Structure 1
Amino acid sequence: MDSALTRPQLVHWRTAIFTIFAVTGLGFASWASRLPAVKQELATDDFGIGVLLFVAGAASIVGLTLANIIVARWGARRGMLVTLLSFGIGVAVAGLGVQFAHSYALTAVGLAFMGLGMSATDVMMNVEAAAVEQAFGRTLMPLFHAFFSIGTVIGAGVGIAMAAWGVGVAWHLWAAAAIVLLAGLGALAYVPTREITHDDDAPVATRRERFAEAVAVWRDPRTYAIGAIMLGMAFAEGSANDWLTIAVVDGHDQTQATGAIALTVFSVAMTLFRILGGPMVDRIGRVWSLRILAVTAGVGLVMFILAPNLPIAFVGVALWGAGASLGFPLGMSAAADDPSKAAASVSAAATIGYLAFLCGPPVLGWISHQIGILNTLWIIVALIAMSGFASGAAKPIAGSKVGAGHH
């Protein structure tokens, strides 16, 4: 059984998971922000960069699959020790491959470790975040995801500065890797060993039960209903990250700088609502929050697609970002409602959501090649509507202290 934690221990635990979310975002954005320099150093073309991104994406899917097994066998805390190492070392190896070895193959190996470590860490930090949220008894998951967003903004901002100052890719990525490893692994020291996140030294029989539990959760209809919520909102978020700038340039005939501003508006709206969303959920409940935000995202995206001028397009982008902000974290919260199977359920929900993130953009790219980018975005409107209709599945189960709301 888990022993009760003191208030300072709970606060340290929460701060530690905030830190892991932030450094994961920082590490990822540090790599992504230097892609033009990577392309130049490796003397490759867009197709070559695409293959590198595919390697990272494929490794990420492997990481998602392994995460469930790792949590069942070793728990989230010990699992993150290994996966954060994989992530940080992968970032460092990619930097070495780009600047000093000028090796496409070594860069790809680094990205494979980075992708595997990042996706597996993502699942486990969400398992921990869900446990923290249940321990505090109020909605905190959106705030955890806001820290990831803040990490990506810092990582991208530093990347812009590094590129402007002519700092080599390796030196930049090694510094980022050092921050990931020092801050991330340091934070783990404040994460308690808890049965709820499978960190205890369970006997073999119990571990077998946990493996069975991890498989059984895929036979629960609620898993797929929560997955539908997260799938729609993961597409809404992921499509903006990958295609919004192109939609502004190619769809609305604007400059690349205007496209970058639109993506910034989206990211700021999403981050702000993740910071502010918890109290709203605790007030009106998880289900109504998801329904209202699905309508907000859908209306915003329709405004963007049909916008006759730039101001209306930007208002649409802001509504799209705000509406898409809470679907993913609240899906995680809903999956964690039953403490007895929280780790397995959160792992399954995270897997569905991250598969949408990873597989969605390439699929949308192929479709947009056939029918144009603005027409393709109508598919996202339909997926957002699906997410809204599935929102009832996020209703807290009996006994859950999080997400019921009060008037």
Structure 2
Amino acid sequence: MPRPAAAPRGRTAPPVAPHVTRAHRQLLGLYLLLGVTVSSWLARMPSVRSALDLSEAGLGVVLLLGAVGSLLTVLVAGGVVTRYGSRRTLTAAAVMFSVATVLLGLGPALGRVEVLVVGVFVMSASFALGNVPMNVETVVVERALGRTVVPQFHAAFSVGAVTGSLLGAGAAFLDVPLLVQFGGIGLVSLVWRLASIPAAVLPVPPRAADAPPAARGMRSALGAWRERRTLVVGVIVLTAALSEGSANNWLAIAVVDGFRQTEAVAAVVYGVFTGSMMVARLAGTWAIDRFGRVTVLAASGSVAFGGLLLFGLAPSLPLAVVGVVGWGLGAGLVVPIGMAAVSHEPLRAASRVAVVSAFASVSSIAAPPLLGLAAGAVGARHALLLVAVGLAVSVVLARSVAAPADAQPGTPATATPPVDDDALVLAVDTAPDAPAATSATHEASVTPTAALPTVPAGPPAVPSAVPAQRGPLLEEVVR
């Protein structure tokens, strides 16, 4: 991968518009918050299991039902974002997530497994719904800034995950009731999200009427399922989601059962995993620019593979923690790289991110019951060794993330004046039909720009970062 183009000597890059800088900060905050809310729940998983007297297999079934909600939602999320815009979609996801968080605490408090199931289902659905616009918006911000920043957002999630796991460990140590912990987190997260979303979503330009028919709703979303490269990248992200998700769901339990440790110690070990992911993502900006996606992805899969094997086979907890560090370091960049690989074309970014996210949801559906059944037979720690097979697959397929082009962040262009997000939806729906623009090699026709997405997973300020022959609207991201 070529290095980012350096600014000529004696010249400085154009200033970044204030609303772009503000969007960058607010989006970082949303990723951090998401990490806190998810990890604080996952760190208390042993308490949830004990309160409801669930076996490993029973807990696996509960998580499976949640994964079904995620898959059903992500299948339509790309079309929802394209039709209604990132702002509305993120707001709906925020409300759903907060309601679900309360249900997660209410189920164990009432001793009702069905309430927990509803909470897990709604939480997974809200995560899938919000994941697509958040990942797309990271690409938009990156292009507007003119430099690689996407790994920063995933690093912010990891920072939040570390914070959340420590909060969970503290709550477990102090024996804080699950309903009190989750209820408080649900309220705080809702207020935070509703306050941040308007500024986190960059405005769209007043040129939406030029949108081609391919940019509209469900047709564009479903078309991404016929793209071979998108499907291959989806498989890579599936293996990454399997790795990270299995750690999220089973690492704490594996430490409790496999090493006879307390829940608080298990939460700290989980914090080591998320902290290692954070370090990888903080270093990811430099690593990707220096070595390229293919090399970083292959190295990540190899390190995660070795770390997971060490954790599963280590005779002592300290040595297993070393394996957890390697596992987390290797797992940190696979999802950002995968999301980036399918987000190089603004008009199709939401649809492709939705497809890749669907693969991640499939892994969430398959992993809980399989690992739960395996854990019942050989223990949770040894059951996690099954995930190593997926990591080997990601290494084999690593080269696919390089095609069709590895553009780099260029110079931020002059910011577009703010326009309401909803204006684009109306304009796209009423735009006259026009022949679809022909596609050309991305690198040959654009100023070097980021090919990155999170996930996670957008709109304007992508001026000179798109092929000129595709029409003026393609200077921006259609949502």
Fold match by TM threshold 0.5: yes
Cα pair distance change 1:120/1:300, threshold 3 Å: same
Residue 127 of structure 1: how far off its partner (Å) = 1.9
Question: Are 2:450 and 1:402 equivalent residues in the alignment?
Answer: yes
Q: Which residue of 1 aligns with 2:179?
A: 170
Equivalent-residue separation in structure 1 for 2:73 and 2:335 (angstroms): 19
2:371 aligned partner: 364
The residue type paired with residue 152 of structure 2 is L
When normalised by structure 2's length, the TM-score is: 0.72
**Separation (CA, whole Å) in 2 of partners of 1:279 and 1:156:** 27
Distance 1:27 1:381 in 2: 27
Q: What are the ranges of 5 or more consecutive residues in structure 2 without an aligned counterpart?
A: 1-13, 406-441, 453-479
Larger RCO: 1 or 2 (CA < 8 Å, sep 6+): 2
Query: Distance between the aligned counterparts of 1:217 and 1:275, measured in 2?
Result: 30
Change over 3 Å in CA distance of 1:112–1:313 after alignment to 2: closer
Q: Give the aligned partner of residue 146 of structure 1.
A: 155
Q: CA deviation at 1:332?
A: 0.7
8 Å CA contact 2:79–2:220 kept in 1: the answer is no
Matching of residues 5-404 of structure 1 within 5 Å: 6-35=16-45, 38=48, 44-46=53-55, 52-96=62-106, 99=109, 104-194=113-203, 206=213, 209-245=216-252, 254-257=259-262, 262-307=269-314, 312-369=319-376, 376-395=383-402, 397=405, 398-399=442-443, 401-402=449-450
| Bigger Cα displacement from structure 2, 30-39 vs 284-293 | 30-39
Report the alpha carbon displacement of residue 85 of structure 1 after superposing the two structures with TM.
Answer: 1.0
Q: Structure 1 residues 369 and 139 mapped into 2: Cα distance closer, same or farther (>3 Å)? A: farther
Question: Distance between the aligned counterparts of 2:383 and 2:73, measured in 1?
Answer: 29
- Higher mean displacement: 142-151 or 362-371: 362-371
Q: 1:29 to 1:322 in 2, by over 3 A?
A: closer
Contact kept, 8 Å, 2:75 with 2:354, in 1: the verdict is no
CA distance in 2, matches of 1:137, 1:354: 31
Query: Alpha-carbon deviation of 1:333?
Result: 0.9
Q: For the structure 1 residues 389 and 261, does the alpha-carbon distance in structure 2 shift closer, same or farther, using more than 3 Å as the test?
A: same
Identify the residue that residue 426 of structure 2 maps to in structure 1.
none
Structure 1 spans left out of the alignment, 5+ residues:
none
Q: Distance in 2 between matches of 1:280 and 1:401?
A: 17
Bigger mean CA offset, 368-377 vs 288-297: 368-377
SS, match of residue 200 in structure 2: coil
Q: Which has the larger radius of gyration?
A: 2
Structure-2 change in CA distance of 1:96 and 1:204 (3 Å) = farther
Identity of aligned residues (%): 30
| RMSD, aligned CA | 3.4
Post-superposition Cα deviations, 1:85-140, rounded to whole Å, max 9, x if no partner, equal: 111122234445554x6655445444433232122112221121232223334332
Secondary structure of the corresponding residue to residue 256 of structure 1: coil
Deviations 1:317-348 (A, max 9, x none): 32221111100111011111122311111111
Aligned partners of 1:291 and 1:375: how far apart in 2?
A: 24
SS in 1 for 2:147: coil
Structure 1: how far apart are the matches of 2:102 and 2:311?
39
Secondary structure (helix, strand or coil) at the match of 2:344 reads coil
* CA offsets 1:330-372 (integer angstroms, 9 cap, x no match): 1011111122311111111122123324432332332454566
TM-score, reference length from structure 1: 0.83
- Whether the 8 Å contact between 1:138 and 1:403 is mirrored in structure 2 is no
Could you give the per-residue CA deviations for residues 287-325 of structure 1, whole angstroms, max 9, x where no partner exists? 111122222222333444454665544333322211111
Q: How many residues align?
A: 395
Instruction: String of CA shifts for 1:194-221, please: whole Å, max 9, x gaps.
Output: 559xx99779984873421211111111
Contact 1:133 1:140 survives alignment (8 Å) = yes
The AA in structure 2 aligned to 1:65 is L
Greater helix share, structure number: 1
2:327 maps to amino acid = W
